[in-house]
Amino acid sequence: MPEISKEQLRKHIKTGSFAPVYLLHGGEAYLRDIAARTIADRAFAEDELREFNDDRFSLSDPDDMVRALAAAEQLPMMASRRVIRVSDVRVAAAANRDTLKEDALPRLEKYLADPCPSTVLILTADELNGNRKATKLLKQHAAVVEFAQLEGRELEDWVRRQFQDYGAEPADGAIRFLIATAGSELQRLSNEIKKLAAAAMPEGLVTVEMIEAVVPHSRELSNFDLTDHLIAGRKDRALKVLRKLFDDEAEPLMLLGLIASRFRTLLMAKELMDHGVDRRTVAKRAKIFGPGADDVFAAARRTDRTRLTAAINKMAAADLAIKTSVGGGKAGSEMQIEMLVCELAEL
């Protein structure tokens, strides 16, 4: 099935002419997840019994693919459709990083060849390697929609529309300053836009001075972006954030310490969770608090312990190289961190 545009997807949603299978992928997870949620919301009429017909699965547990397909084959109960959402799909360059495993492909191929007409199956993919059999199979049968990361004018237009939706108006230069300050990730931009729109009331004008006072500087945000992309195996995006941090004069040893701290936290959480320790105790011992706690727990669940251990060993080697003549001064230290980022993303 050919790839469809986001505009064509909007027409599907508006008219209710849904494809039996959607594959939503690309770097902009925020828009991708909104699309999956909107399809699910619009697939049901107001008087239909949604709670028995809307199921979610995550391939952080690879066995969920088979469970999801079994659910997709069931007839809806007191509704015209069933909606099955499968998140955390990854088909990487290396099979050991896949969440869509080879042994699930025959079952998936059988379903895709003859999908249930009363089911809308929505797959959201974090990574799709075009050379792999699983990717080719999905693209052959699903309505594929790519959500690429917004940049340039497209990103600025999105920010402007968000402000308008909240009844606010950005002053000259405010949109570019906000993007430069908060970064280009839409989830974070959305959160900052909400705060700024509220702060601008009753006049509704968002100024550069207001952004400077309300929005945290991008370096702090980019630090977390870097580790998040590494954990998810998004090498290109991790390198992009790293170069931005170097341009912002971030110290290589500071970045190494940040990365190491995040991976040690994940390893500690993984060990405790594998031993059946409850979430509250894990959070206390591993010091996992704040609004990003759910993301840390999700990453710990889906990340292999061997991978975390190997990552920490590589960080120790990079630390030694930077602190000895191998590092070669500032340029050499930055090169060591860049090499480390590439290796961690490919584990």
The pLDDT mean for the chain works out to: 88
pLDDT grade for 23, boundaries at 50, 70 and 90: very high
Q: Work out whether strand 21-25 and strand 143-146 pair parallel, antiparallel, or are unpaired.
A: parallel
Residue appearing with tokens 């280009």: 184
Lowest mean pLDDT among 88-102, 180-194, 216-230: 216-230
* CB of 5 closer than 8 Å to CB of 147: no
pLDDT at 325 over 70: no
* CB of 104 closer than 8 Å to CB of 133: no
CA atoms within 13 A on the CB side of 326: 10
Higher pLDDT, 74 or 299: 74
pLDDT at 290 over 70: no
**Cα separation, 119 vs 149, whole angstroms:** 29
Tokens read off for 75: 């007839």
Residue-level pLDDT at 70: 96
**Cα separation, 134 vs 89, whole angstroms:** 11
Q: What is the DSSP string of 267-328?
A: HHHHHHHHTT--HHHHHHHHT--STTHHHHHHHHHHS-HHHHHHHHHHHHHHHHHHHSTTS-
**Cα separation, 315 vs 343, whole angstroms:** 10
Question: Could you read off the pLDDT of 26-35 as tens digits, one per residue?
Answer: 988 899 999 9
pLDDT grade for 289, boundaries at 50, 70 and 90: low
Sign of CA dihedral 70, 5, 44, 127: positive
pLDDT at 6 over 70: yes
Q: Tell me the longest C-alpha to C-alpha distance in the chain.
A: 70
Question: Could you read off the pLDDT of 209-262 as tens digits, one per residue?
Answer: 888 888 865 555 555 667 777 877 788 888 888 887 887 777 788 788 888 888
In sequence order, the 6+-apart residues with CB closer than 8 A to the CB of 309 are: 267
* CB of 155 closer than 8 Å to CB of 175: no
